[in-house]
Chains A and B, each alone.
Chain A
Amino acid sequence: MSFLQPLLLWGLLAASIPVIIHLLNKRRHKTIKWAAMQFLLKATRESRGKKRLRHILILTCRALGLAALAFAAARPIVSGLLGWGNGHVDVVVLLLDRSTSMEAKPGDGYESRRKVVVEKVRDTLKDLGGARLVLIDSATGQAQDVPSPDALTELSATDATDTAADIPAMTTKAAEFLSETPGRSEVWIATDLQASNWKADDERWAAARASLAALPQKPSIRILGLTGATAPNASLRLVSTQRSGDQLMLDLEITRAEDARGTANLPLTVNLNGSRSTEGLTISGQSLRFQKRITLPAGSETGHGWLSIPADGNERDNAAFFAYGPTRPIKSIVVAASGEAGGYLQLSAAPPGFGNQSVTRLDPAKAATLATSDTAFVVWAAPLPTGATADVLQAFLSSGGQVLFVPPGQGAETTFLGLKWSAPSEAAAGKFFILKDWNHEDGPLRDGLDGTQLPAERLRAIKRQIPIGDAAPLARWDDAEPFLVRRIVERGTAWFAGSLPDYTWSNLGDADVLLPMVQRLVMIGADRFDASYLSAVGSEDSRLLPGETRTRLDDYGSPDPANAAYEAGVFRLGDRLLALNHPASEDTPEIVGKDGLDTSLNGTGYTLFEQAGKASDGAVSKDAWRAFLIAMLFFLISEAVLCLPKKTTESSLPTRQGNPQPAI
C-alpha cells in the first residue's frame, strides 16, 4: 500500500492516547473514605470477568478508531497498477501503443482504448505524485519528458495514428533511456497485446531483456493490457491496385470481428479525385475479398481517391486510400525457341485483346541480351541461365519480377537458385501424368475470388521434367512428383512448371491451366510498377527523403497536420505520389498469450494488468481513505454502544418504611 501523505502516519501514535488516558486516570483517582465497603468489595469481585472484557473492548475500539483516522488522513492508495508495498518511484517510463488497433472501443459510446489508457495513466500518476514521467510512443519511438500528468492527454505524441507498433524496439529504447537515468523506475507498457505488435518470437526481445537486466536498478515492468470485447467493427483494406488503360482495379478486403455472424450490409463510399459515389456491399461471414473496378476519367494521367465504410468500433480502419499513375504497358519476355511451345507461351503472356499487354520472344541463343528494366514477366523455356544472364535474371527477380521456368527439353546439372531440372521422363504407354493435387488458396493455380477452381485436373502430360531443389511445391502429379514449385527471391518469385505446351509433352496448350497461370504471374510482375503508388504508414517508402516535403492531397476525415507522418491518406512526398494505408497486420485480431509474454519478458518479473471490458471500470488506482474512514466510524460507534450505561436499579430498592403489625 502506498500513501499520499506518509508523514501523517505519525498520527498512529494517537492510537495509544486512550490507553494512556486510561492509565493516567487510574492514577489520578480521587480518594474517599467510604462506609459501605462490603458492597464495593462484592461488586468488584463479581465484575472482574465480563466487565474487564468490555472495558478492554472499549479501549480497543478507541485505539483502532484513532488508528483508522490516521490511516485515512495519510491517504492510502490501493491499486493493481501501483501494487501493494511499493515505495517511492522516481521515474515512470510509459511505452504507449498508438497503433491503429488501439483505436478500438470497448463498446458503443465509449472512448478508444488508447484514450482510456492515457487517462488512466494520468490519474494514476496524479495519485502517485512526484514521479518523473517519460513517454515513448510507438509512432515516433522517441523518449520525451512529460512535464505533468495532465499534459499527457494534450501531447500529440499520445494522439491516434494509423501505424503499427514495435513493442520489442520500444522496450529496448526504454532500457537505453533508463541506463542513463538513476533512481527507482517502472516501465509501463500500455498496449492491446496484439500479437503482430508484440512479436513474441522476435529475437530482439533477448536483447531487450539483457538491457533491462544490466541496469543498476532493475525497473518494475507493468503491462497494461487492454483486451476484451470491442464494439462491432469492420475494417477495410486495399490489397493492391492495378491500372489497365482507363480502368483501375482495386483488390479490396473487408474483415469483420471474430464473433461476427450472419450477413451485414455495408455502404461503400468511393471517392475518386473528389467525386463521390456509394454502393451497397453484402458480407456473409467474417470477411469479404473483392475487386472494385473504377473507370478513370478520360485522359487522366494521375489521380487518387479513397474508399470508406461507415464509422464503427474502430474509426481508423474504415478507409482505404489509393493513387495511380500513367498507364504502363505490361511487357513480358518469352525466352524460347520458335515452335509450338514458344507460341503458346507468347499467347498466354499477351493474349489478343489485352491491349496493354505485349510480349517479346527471345531466342535462347540470345538470352545474354535479356533486358528486363520495364518487364513484368519472363518465361524461360531454355536451359537454366548461367553467368551474366543468371545475374540479370536474379536482379530482375530481386526487383519484383516474376520468372516462369519451363522444361528445356533435356536434363542438365546446371542449377539456378539451387534448383535444376531432372532428365525428361515419359509416361507409360497409353497412360498420362495427371495433375492430382494443387494449392487452391495460394499460387497461380488458386481458386478464383468467387471460389471457382481452375480445371487443373484436365492437365495431361506424356513427358515431363521434375524441378529438383529447395522450393515450395504448389501442385503435384498423381505420382506425387511436383509439377509446380515456387522459390521466392527477395521481392520477386521464380516458378518452375514441369511440362511444356507442346503436343508431344502435354495439353497445356489447351489453355485451361496455362492461360490463367501465366496471366496471374504477369499481373504479379506488373504489380511492382503499380505498387509504387501504394504503401503502409510507417514504412520505409513513407519516410521523407532529403529535400522532400509532405503534402496531404485527399479530403477524408479531419487530418491533424502535426500527426501527418503517422496518418493514412494520399500524400505527395516531394515528387512522389503515395497512398498510405494502415498496415495490414493491424487488422489481425490475435493477441499474444501468457506464454508469449513469459517468453518475451522472461526474468523481468513483470506484472500484467489486463483490463478487459468497458472503459468505466474504475481507476487503475483506488484511493482507500474512505474505507478507513468507514472503519473509524464503525469503531467509534461500537465504542459508544459499549459505553452506554446500563439501566440503574434504584427503583427496585426496598421501601423506606416497613412497619409490621405490632404484636401484643
Chain B
Amino acid sequence: MKYDFLDSALLSKLGSLPVEARTPMLGNVAGKHRSPHRGSSVEFAEYRKYVAGDDTRRLDWKAYARSDRYYIKEFEADTNLRAYFVVDTSGSMAFSGKAESKIQYARKIASSLAYLLVNQGDAAGLSVCTDKLHLEVPPSRRPAHLDRLFSTLGALEPSGETGLVPALHTIAEKIGQRAVIVILSDLFTDPAELADALQHLRYRKHDVCVFHLLDPQEIAFEFDRPHRFIDLEDGTVLVAEPNLIAEEYHIALREFLTKVRDVCHDANASYQLVTTDTPLEELLRGFLMSRLSKRKH
C-alpha cells in the first residue's frame, strides 16, 4: 500500500471483525446492521446460500423445492452503516513526544476503520477541522472512495487552533440519517462547548465514538531541565522549570481529563483515552470487540 499509515497485515487480522454501530442505523442499502424499522413493509432483497449457523427461520423452502439446495432470504430489514471520521487537524495534533504524532495516529485509526467499513459494505466519510478549515469527504461504500479518503488523510497538515466544536455542530446539522461519528482529537478545547456539540449529536441520534488522543509525554510531563515551551497552535512562549510545576500540571490535566470523560458520558458518547504509544491492533481490536458484544438479538 502506498499510504504509510495503513498496515495491510493489521487489516487482514481485523478483517473478520465487523464494525458495528451501537444504535440501529437507517440506510438505503441492505447491510449487516439492524434497521429501526420492522414489519411487512420490508421487501425481499436477495438469496444467499445457507451456511451453518444461519437462522433456519430464514430458509426459503420454495427455493429448496426448486433447487434441492438451502438458501437464506436477505431482507431490506438489514441495512448499511454510515460513518464519519472527524479528524482534528489543529496545531496541537502535530505534537510528537515519546511516540508518533497524534495526527499520524489519528490517520491510522481513521484509515483502518474506514477500510474495514468499506470492506464490509458500509460507508465511510471524513471531516477535517481547524478554526479556519472544514473539509469534508462525504461517505461512500465504493472501494474506489477509499483512495480519495486516504489521500485526504495523507495530505492533512495540522495547524492553527482547534475548530472541532463548530465542525461537530455542522455535522450534527448536516447529516440527516443516523451515523457513526468517530472523533479523533486531543480535545484541547473548552469542555463546556464540547459538551454542547456532543449533546447536539446525541439529539440527532448519532452513535458518537471519541478517541481522545494524547502523547505519553503530555501525560507524564517528565523533563530533566528547564524548557522553553512554544504553543503549537498560537505560538505562545513560556520558559519554565518542569520539575517545579509538575504537580500542578498533573492536577490541571487530571481535572481536564475527568471533565472531558464526564462530558462524553453525559452525551452518551463512547470515550476512549488513547496514548499514541498504544499498539494500534490492541486499540482497534478492543474497540471492535466492545461494539460486537453490545449487540442485542
List the interface of chain A (C-beta within 8 A of B): 25-26, 28-44, 46-47, 51, 54-55, 645-646, 648-650, 652-660, 662-664
The B206-247 residues at the A interface (CB cut-off 8 A) are 207, 214-215, 218-220, 223, 225-233, 236, 238-241, 243-247
A33 touches B230 (CB 8 A): yes
What A residues does B95 contact at CB under 8 A?
33-36
B225 touches A28 (CB 8 A): yes
Docked pose: A34 CA to B24 CA in angstroms: 41
B272 within 8 A of A: yes
A660 touches B270 (CB 8 A): yes
Q: What are 11 A-to-B residue pairs whose CB atoms are below 8 Å?
A: A29-B226, A30-B227, A35-B188, A35-B231, A37-B233, A649-B254, A653-B250, A653-B254, A657-B272, A662-B207, A664-B23
- Beyond A40-B229, A663-B268, 12 extra complex contacts between A and B, CB < 8 Å: A29-B225, A34-B95, A37-B236, A38-B188, A43-B248, A44-B238, A47-B245, A54-B244, A650-B220, A656-B273, A656-B274, A660-B265
What A residues does B286 contact at CB under 8 A?
657
What B residues does A645 contact at CB under 8 A?
243
B45 within 8 A of A: no
A47 touches B248 (CB 8 A): yes
Docked pose: A657 CA to B252 CA in angstroms: 20
A650 touches B274 (CB 8 A): no
B273 touches A37 (CB 8 A): no
What A residues does B247 contact at CB under 8 A?
43, 47, 646, 649
B249 touches A39 (CB 8 A): yes
> A190 CB to closest chain B CB, in angstroms?
60
B261 within 8 A of A: yes
> B203 CB to closest chain A CB, in angstroms?
11
> A374 CB to closest chain B CB, in angstroms?
108
The listed residue (B102, B228, B238, B257) touching A653 by CB distance below 8 A is: B257
What A residues does B231 contact at CB under 8 A?
33-35, 37
B92 touches A648 (CB 8 A): no
> B45 CB to closest chain A CB, in angstroms?
24
The listed residue (B229, B258, B264) touching A34 by CB distance below 8 A is: B229
Docked pose: A283 CA to B272 CA in angstroms: 107
The listed residue (B102, B218, B239, B258) touching A26 by CB distance below 8 A is: B239
Please give me the residue from chain B that is nearest to A54 by CB atom. B244
The listed residue (A29, A47, A54, A662) touching B294 by CB distance below 8 A is: A662
List the interface of chain B (C-beta within 8 A of A): 22-24, 91-95, 102, 186, 188, 202, 207, 214-215, 218-220, 223, 225-233, 236, 238-241, 243-254, 256-258, 261, 264-265, 268, 270-275, 286, 290, 294
> B194 CB to closest chain A CB, in angstroms?
14
Docked pose: A39 CA to B220 CA in angstroms: 12
A43 touches B294 (CB 8 A): no
> B222 CB to closest chain A CB, in angstroms?
9
Docked pose: A46 CA to B258 CA in angstroms: 19
What A residues does B91 contact at CB under 8 A?
35
What B residues does A653 contact at CB under 8 A?
219, 250, 253-254, 257
> B239 CB to closest chain A CB, in angstroms?
6
Please give me the residue from chain B that is nearest to A662 by CB atom. B22
What B residues does A655 contact at CB under 8 A?
273
What A residues does B252 contact at CB under 8 A?
38-39, 42-43, 46
The listed residue (A34, A44, A662) touching B232 by CB distance below 8 A is: A34
> B133 CB to closest chain A CB, in angstroms?
18
Query: Contacts A35-B215, A37-B231 given: A654-B23 contact, CB under 8 Å?
Result: no
> B54 CB to closest chain A CB, in angstroms?
25
What A residues does B24 contact at CB under 8 A?
664
> A142 CB to closest chain B CB, in angstroms?
72
The listed residue (A25, A28, A44) touching B245 by CB distance below 8 A is: A44
Docked pose: A55 CA to B242 CA in angstroms: 13
A31 touches B249 (CB 8 A): no
A658 touches B264 (CB 8 A): yes
The listed residue (B248, B254, B275) touching A654 by CB distance below 8 A is: B254
B227 touches A29 (CB 8 A): yes
What A residues does B239 contact at CB under 8 A?
26, 29
Docked pose: A655 CA to B257 CA in angstroms: 9
A31 touches B230 (CB 8 A): yes
B265 touches A43 (CB 8 A): no
> B18 CB to closest chain A CB, in angstroms?
16
A650 touches B219 (CB 8 A): yes
Docked pose: A650 CA to B254 CA in angstroms: 9
B271 touches A648 (CB 8 A): no
> B273 CB to closest chain A CB, in angstroms?
4
Docked pose: A638 CA to B273 CA in angstroms: 40
Query: Contacts A35-B188, A35-B215, A652-B254 given: A43-B245 contact, CB under 8 Å?
Result: yes
Please give me the residue from chain A that is nearest to B92 by CB atom. A35
A649 touches B251 (CB 8 A): yes
What B residues does A54 contact at CB under 8 A?
244
Q: What are the 10 closest A-B residue pairs judged by CB atoms, nearest first?
A: A35-B92, A43-B248, A35-B95, A662-B22, A43-B249, A29-B226, A43-B245, A39-B252, A37-B231, A34-B229
B188 touches A36 (CB 8 A): yes
A650 touches B250 (CB 8 A): yes
What A residues does B229 contact at CB under 8 A?
32-34, 37, 40
Query: Contacts A34-B229, A41-B238 given: A658-B257 contact, CB under 8 Å?
Result: no
A35 touches B218 (CB 8 A): yes
What A residues does B251 contact at CB under 8 A?
43, 649
Docked pose: A648 CA to B221 CA in angstroms: 10
A54, A648, A657 — most chain B CB neighbours (10 Å): A657
Docked pose: A30 CA to B241 CA in angstroms: 11
> B36 CB to closest chain A CB, in angstroms?
9
What A residues does B223 contact at CB under 8 A?
30
What B residues does A37 contact at CB under 8 A?
229, 231-233, 236, 238
What A residues does B22 contact at CB under 8 A?
662
A39 touches B256 (CB 8 A): yes
The listed residue (B214, B228, B265, B290) touching A32 by CB distance below 8 A is: B228
Please give me the residue from chain B that is nearest to A42 by CB atom. B252
> B285 CB to closest chain A CB, in angstroms?
13
What B residues does A34 contact at CB under 8 A?
95, 229-232
A30 touches B228 (CB 8 A): yes
What B residues does A38 contact at CB under 8 A?
188, 252, 256
Docked pose: A656 CA to B257 CA in angstroms: 10
Docked pose: A41 CA to B231 CA in angstroms: 11
B254 touches A32 (CB 8 A): no
Docked pose: A657 CA to B261 CA in angstroms: 9
What A residues does B273 contact at CB under 8 A?
654-658
What A residues does B236 contact at CB under 8 A?
37, 41
What B residues does A648 contact at CB under 8 A?
246, 250
> A68 CB to closest chain B CB, in angstroms?
25
Docked pose: A646 CA to B223 CA in angstroms: 15
A658 touches B265 (CB 8 A): yes
The listed residue (A26, A40, A41, A51) touching B226 by CB distance below 8 A is: A26
Query: Contacts A35-B232, A39-B256 given: A659-B238 contact, CB under 8 Å?
Result: no
A658 touches B219 (CB 8 A): no
> A27 CB to closest chain B CB, in angstroms?
9
What A residues does B243 contact at CB under 8 A?
645
> A257 CB to closest chain B CB, in angstroms?
71
Please give me the residue from chain A that is nearest to B234 by CB atom. A37
A29, A33, A47, A645 — most chain B CB neighbours (10 Å): A33
Please give me the residue from chain A that is nearest to B202 by CB atom. A663
Docked pose: A55 CA to B240 CA in angstroms: 13
Docked pose: A650 CA to B222 CA in angstroms: 12
Please give me the residue from chain B that is nearest to A656 by CB atom. B273
B230 touches A32 (CB 8 A): yes
Docked pose: A657 CA to B291 CA in angstroms: 13
Docked pose: A40 CA to B264 CA in angstroms: 24
> A57 CB to closest chain B CB, in angstroms?
12
What B residues does A42 contact at CB under 8 A?
248-249, 252
> B227 CB to closest chain A CB, in angstroms?
5
What B residues does A36 contact at CB under 8 A?
92, 95, 186, 188, 214, 218, 253
Docked pose: A581 CA to B156 CA in angstroms: 117
